[in-house]
Amino acid sequence: MLEISKRGIEMPASPIRKLVPFSESAKAKGIKVYHLNIGQPDIETPPAALEAVKNCDIKVLEYTHSAGTESYRKKLTEYYKSNGIDVTKDEIIVTAGGSEAILFGFLACLNPGDEIIIPEPFYANYNGFAIEAEVIVKPIGSSIESGFALPEISQFEKAITPKTKAIIVCNPNNPTGYLYSKEEMETLKEIVLKHNLYLFADEAYREFCYNGSHTSAMHLKGAEQNVVLMDTISKRYSACGGRIGAFITKNKNVLNTAMKFAQARLSPPFYGQILAEAAIDLPHNYFDDTKKEYLKRRDVLVSRLNKMEGVFCPNPGGAFYAMAKLPIDDCDKFCQWLLESFSYNYETIMLAPGTGFYATPTLGKQEVRLAYVLNSDEINKAMDCLQEALKQYPGKTL
């Protein structure tokens, strides 16, 4: 029998997508499934951006520059300038989504066997990217009781070894929705400068901050050579399928190295860049209504969760995710049971098991991630399902 790679065996299944077969089976039985498992917004992609793709006059759909089209990169500098980030077009590599930007960072800055520190829970695919790059994840814990605030500096110091090369944070955070403060970002700057580490900053949800303002890693004066920004249009413009992201740094050695990986994959998607470039010209108040809508949904979700017996959900400061602790024995079993064995008025809910967002095997067993990407009426119906499910679940701990 032909063998598969060790990396393939070690690659974890996505906690967000691994239950899809059970969801499909439930739907085949006529059960409506409320999808709170994945950050796929239901907000419409801006019509002006879609029209730009429809109306572009292209005779040959050719490769673009490996760094992305010059016109889009120039336009991106305007977007970042409006967010207080001063970069040039030559400090930007356009990527196939934020995922490729993160992978480029791992490949360009870390060698096999090097370590990267990540506060957990964290975006599940960081584990997968680390395995692809043969990098070791060193998790440090943040707790649901503290709302998933940045761990104490002493925890970082304990985790740092001679093999440590980077720290990565997602701000606002996926999966917790936690918004790191300016003071917390300055703490990270202090650590990376003291230990000569890279700071990878995943800022996919920059526009969606509800309690306080966003502090970008690119705002950290004196750490410019340490910072690598990973970005994406996926959630910003509700354009996940466009697959356009960005890898940004002022460190020329890192940029030149990442460019080799960009050249190896030839170019980012052409149509996606056209869409993304047009989206930058949207009115400055474009995000006001979207942000207001997500805030409304957050308040409905968190309020409903915290009214359920034995449930605790801290109030997220940004993004559109929440982590909740439930009175259950095992979140993986519970999330599968919801789709396989439960329905309430021929409806059920799909959640992401919390264990998939931790590197420490014993953590997250009673937690789930919920993405509030449905309208408030549907969130209320989904919470009705969850409330009833917690009464019926055989493994409840109340």
CA dist., res. 105 & res. 111, Å (int): 11
- Helix, strand and coil content of the chain, in percent to the nearest 5, comes to 40, 15, 40
CATH topology of domain 58-279: Aspartate Aminotransferase; domain 2 (3.40.640)
User: First CA to last CA across the chain, in angstroms?
Assistant: 48
Write out the two tokens for 378. Answer: 């549907």
- pTM comes to 0.96
Q: What is the CATH number of domain 6-44+286-392?
A: 3.90.1150.10
Intrachain domains 6-44+286-392 and 58-279 with the same fold: no
CA dist., res. 96 & res. 5, Å (int): 24
pLDDT 10s digit of each residue in the chain, 398 long? 888 888 888 888 787 788 999 999 999 999 999 999 999 999 999 999 999 999 999 999 999 999 999 999 999 999 999 999 999 999 999 999 999 999 999 999 999 999 999 999 999 999 999 999 999 999 999 999 999 999 999 999 999 999 999 999 999 999 999 999 999 999 999 999 999 999 999 999 999 999 899 999 999 999 999 999 999 999 999 999 999 999 999 999 999 999 999 999 999 999 999 999 999 999 989 999 999 999 999 999 999 999 999 999 999 999 999 999 999 999 999 999 999 999 999 999 999 999 999 999 999 999 999 999 999 999 999 999 999 999 999 999 98
The answer to whether 357 touches 15, Cβ cutoff 8 Å, is yes
Question: Domain residues of the chain, as ranges?
Answer: 6-44+286-392, 58-279
- In sequence order, the 6+-apart residues with CB closer than 8 A to the CB of 279 are 46, 48, 49, 233, 236, 237, 239
- In sequence order, the 6+-apart residues with CB closer than 8 A to the CB of 45 are 237, 238, 239, 275
AA identity, residue 206: R
The answer to whether 364 touches 358, Cβ cutoff 8 Å, is yes
